[in-house]
């Protein structure tokens, strides 16, 4: 399941080496949402980048508005007869919310596709074509 959210980068943490072949780096986005009653609610979501993606967040500064694409990953963990469930938000793409690639999806009109330079077929071309369609 792939999801996407936009929010302000609140903080980023150092990379942690969990195992020899697994490392992770967490960062937090501040998300705001206006409820049906007009109240603005603030949420804080902690995301993680794993292994070779840990350095992706380095290019962004705290306070920047980011668009994060992520997957939800859940695990069952049992120890001493106690079962716990852990949910992670694994970010796989992070970009500035106002980057040119994402401008069209945030309210700014996207320009129409360029017209072909060939233009419409001329009437003489159509006359030479004896097909009815």
Q: Which residues of 28-45 are buried (b: 16+ CB within 10 A; e: fewer)?
A: bbeeeeeeeeeeeeeeee
SS3 131: coil
**CATH number at 2-102:** 2.40.50.140
According to the model, what pLDDT value does residue 99 have? 63
- Rounded distance between C-alpha atoms, residue 131 and residue 119, angstroms: 21
Whole-structure pTM value: 0.67
Predicted confidence (pLDDT) per residue in 6-45, tens digit:
999 999 999 999 898 999 999 999 999 888 888 989 999 9
């Amino acid at each position: 399941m792939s999801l996407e959210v936009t929010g302000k980068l609140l903080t980023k943490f150092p990379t942690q080496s969990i195992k020899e072949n697994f490392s992770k780096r967490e960062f937090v986005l501040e998300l705001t949402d206006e409820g049906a009653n007009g109240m603005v609610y603030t949420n804080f979501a902690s995301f993680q980048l794993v292994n070779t993606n840990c350095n992706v967040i380095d290019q962004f500064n705290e306070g920047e508005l980011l668009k994060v694409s992520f997957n939800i990953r859940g695990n069952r963990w049992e120890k001493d007869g106690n079962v716990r469930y852990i949910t992670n938000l694994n970010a796989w793409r992070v970009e500035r919310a106002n980057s040119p690639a994402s401008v069209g999806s945030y309210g700014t009109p996207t320009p129409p596709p360029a017209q072909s330079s060939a233009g419409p077929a001329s009437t003489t071309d159509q006359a030479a074509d004896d097909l009815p369609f």
